[in-house]
A and B are shown apart, each in its own frame.
Chain A
Amino acid sequence: LAKTTQPISMDSYEGQEVNITCSHNNIATNDYITWYQQFPSQGPRFIIQGYKTKVTNEVASLFIPADRKSSTLSLPRVSLSDTAVYYCLVGDINNDMRFGAGTRLTVKP
């Protein structure tokens, strides 16, 4: 599993766009990039996954540059309910899915 680096915490305000960047310099050719969201006392929830370029779904976008050494999770117009810990995982089906410390996002009114 490729080592990832994320900011420990971020603050934002309601209605703003939030971008959380994850660095993964040693990403392998077969690795995918997956983001999870965890609320207190709940299991992490899959948000989005991508391999290259840009992926968008109903809740977020994932931007991956050509070198794939980093990725950015973009949350449009956050609300208080987006306050959570966000994890970036990089790997393929042969990895054992170890989570890092994640980014604690706090959305303020």
Chain B
Amino acid sequence: NAGVTQTPKFQVLKTGQSMTLQCAQDMNHEYMSWYRQDPGMGLRLIHYSVGAGITDQGEVPNGYNVSRSTTEDFPLRLLSAAPSQTSVYFCASRRGPTYNSPLHFGNGTRLTVT
């Protein structure tokens, strides 16, 4: 039972490069989301999706794009990386946006932008 799988675990980018962080879940969860975690800031919501074909912005969406073509996958794209995007990124899913249900997290991607 894999749960939420994130790849890669580590990534170093140069300023201006682009990349995609992958996230997949095998629990048939409707809701998927991306958070970034920075020291002293807790987790901040970047983008979320309540189902295939539907995405919306969280509190820190600038510099990131998402799409949700399938229930299982929710990739996060950085179009032009900046040092301010150095962070640990977590993908999380849950059963549905209106249920009293917990989030299931992946183990994170540690991104460094130089």
- A and B interact: no
| Chain B interface (Cβ < 8 Å from any Cβ of A) | none
| Chain A interface (Cβ < 8 Å from any Cβ of B) | none
